[in-house]
């Protein structure tokens, strides 16, 4: 007789969510070991979140909710539960689950060792700090990773005059990626979007890519918009394209090491340049780093190799399912 579990997973039908495919794979994975009941809340999930009814919610003084980038998995026989969260707003919503002694683990994609103390202290939950752990960051949409890697192996001529970056938020009066716009004006990136198949082929032709969320006017206090990781960064890693970025403050499980998994600009140096010259100062040091490393073949191969190893161990299928299973302690629920 398998242990009965319930998965609370709002699927945002109207807008969709990039992590939805991974959650579906994880449900199928869990069905090997458990009697699984899935609640998707499709009638309410288009709000971006939904309130849920936990089997056992002792000490939680608000009706708990789960967003469309999260899931809650309950053991219906013990009342214990775990939370898997790709959210950028942990301290706004999921922190409340820790008020229940039945909450055994929260895995957080946008985890920050710098901020976790402040997040939990604000809710008087520092005694539960060991229940929150860094996780991994997933991919935007499903694609054939092996085919993309094979395509990359066949590329003989790479773009060496610019970094790969595609996305939004860099143009117009409300632009929040001002550094990207400055680099575009210097012809160091071409940020215009394209469909995903073209995107991956163009990525494979570049020696170097540029990471996301580089504007230092954001993410200043522990309670600002707190996410540094991006789907784009994981796509770079999936086929081993080294990328440049200011040192991460966020952490993933067994996380990304500066100048080992990515090409790092020291954060203190970046802030000094930003304080002197604003976004132009940040663009300057990115350009300097690009020119410094773009022809360093040994270093780029070293970064690429390490990226692929980390991605396959923690983010690729099926390993991301298996290590999540163990990290949450769900493997201990098997009868």
pLDDT tens-digit readout, 124-145: 999 999 999 999 987 667 889 9
**What is the rounded CA–CA span in Å between residue 28 and residue 25?**
5
Mean pLDDT of 51-74: 81
Banded pLDDT at 60 (limits 50, 70, 90):
confident
**What is the rounded CA–CA span in Å between residue 97 and residue 72?**
10
Banded pLDDT at 117 (limits 50, 70, 90):
very high
- Helices assigned H by DSSP within 101-227: 116-122, 145-154, 178-185, 196-204
Mean pLDDT of 146-159: 94
**What is the rounded CA–CA span in Å between residue 26 and residue 39?**
14
Greater confidence, 113 or 298? 298
User: Would you tell me how many other CB atoms lie within 10 Å of the CB of residue 72?
Assistant: 23
The total number of residues written for the chain in this structure: 335
Greater confidence, 155 or 168? 155
What is the enclosing helix (H) or strand (E) of 231? helix 231-239
pTM above 0.85, yes or no: yes
**What pLDDT, on a 0 to 100 scale, did the predictor assign at position 62?**
66
Q: CB–CB of 95/119 below 8 Å?
A: yes
The angle subtended at Cα 235 by Cα 229 and Cα 238, nearest 5°, is 115
Identify the top-confidence range among 10-19, 91-100, 271-280.
Answer: 271-280
Report the mean per-residue pLDDT for the chain: 90
**What pLDDT, on a 0 to 100 scale, did the predictor assign at position 61?**
64
Strand, helix or coil for residue 282:
helix
Closest CA to 165 of 139, 146, 183: 183
Structure tokens at 331: 């493997």
**What pLDDT, on a 0 to 100 scale, did the predictor assign at position 16?**
63
pLDDT per residue over 291-311, tens digit each?
999 999 999 999 999 999 999
**What pLDDT, on a 0 to 100 scale, did the predictor assign at position 287?**
98
Q: Can you spell out the DSSP letters for 191-216?
A: -----HHHHHHHHHTBS-EE-S---T
pLDDT per residue over 187-203, tens digit each?
999 999 899 899 999 99
- CATH classification of 145-315 is 3.40.50, yes or no? yes
Above 90 in pLDDT, residue 260? yes
Q: Which residue has the tokens 């990359």?
A: 152
Percent of the chain predicted with pLDDT > 70: 94
Mean pLDDT of 250-263: 95
* End-to-end C-alpha distance for the chain, whole angstroms: 8
With both helix axes pointing from N to C terminus, report the angle between 267-293 and 178-185 in degrees, rounded to the nearest 10: 30
Q: Facing residues of 49 across strands?
A: 67
pLDDT per residue over 71-100, tens digit each?
999 999 999 999 999 988 887 778 989 999
Domain boundaries along the sequence of the chain: 3-135, 145-315
Banded pLDDT at 322 (limits 50, 70, 90):
very high
Contacting residues for 196 by C-beta, under 8 A, at least 6 apart: 140, 141, 143
Above 80 in pLDDT, residue 48? no
Banded pLDDT at 272 (limits 50, 70, 90):
very high
**What pLDDT, on a 0 to 100 scale, did the predictor assign at position 15?**
66
Mean pLDDT of 269-286: 95
Strand, helix or coil for residue 290:
helix
Contacting residues for 92 by C-beta, under 8 A, at least 6 apart: none
**What is the rounded CA–CA span in Å between residue 64 and residue 51?**
6
């Amino acid at each position: 007789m398998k242990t009965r579990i319930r998965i609370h997973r709002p699927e945002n039908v109207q807008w969709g969510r990039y992590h939805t495919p991974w959650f579906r794979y994880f449900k199928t994975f869990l069905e090997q070991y458990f009697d699984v009941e899935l609640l998707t809340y499709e009638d309410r999930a288009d709000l971006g979140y939904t309130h849920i009814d936990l089997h056992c919610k002792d000490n939680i003084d608000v009706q708990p909710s789960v967003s469309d980038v999260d899931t809650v998995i309950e053991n219906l026989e013990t009342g214990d539960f775990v939370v898997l969260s790709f959210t950028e707003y942990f301290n706004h919503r999921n922190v409340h689950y820790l008020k229940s002694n039945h909450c055994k683990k929260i895995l957080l994609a946008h985890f920050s060792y710098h901020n976790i103390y402040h997040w939990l202290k604000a809710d008087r939950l520092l005694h539960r700090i060991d229940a929150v752990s860094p996780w991994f960051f997933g991919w935007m949409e499903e694609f054939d990773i092996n085919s993309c890697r094979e395509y990359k192996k066949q590329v003989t001529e790479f773009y060496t005059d610019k970094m790969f970056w595609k996305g939004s938020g860099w143009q117009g009066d409300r632009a929040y990626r001002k550094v990207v716009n400055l680099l575009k004006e210097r012809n160091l990136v071409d940020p215009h979007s394209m469909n995903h198949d073209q995107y991956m082929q163009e990525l494979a032709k570049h020696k170097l890519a540029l990471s996301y969320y580089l504007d230092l006017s954001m993410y200043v206090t522990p309670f600002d918009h707190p996410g540094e990781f991006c789907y784009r960064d994981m796509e770079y890693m999936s086929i081993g394209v080294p990328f440049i970025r200011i040192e991460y403050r966020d952490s993933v499980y067994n996380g990304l090491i500066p100048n080992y998994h990515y090409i790092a600009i020291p954060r203190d140096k970046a802030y000094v340049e930003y304080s002197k010259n604003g976004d132009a100062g940040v663009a300057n040091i990115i350009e300097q780093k690009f020119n410094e490393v773009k022809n360093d073949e040994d270093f780029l191969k070293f970064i690429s190799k390490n990226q692929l190893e980390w991605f396959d161990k923690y983010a690729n299928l099926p390993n991301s399912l298996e290590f999540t299973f163990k990290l949450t302690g769900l493997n201990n629920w098997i009868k």
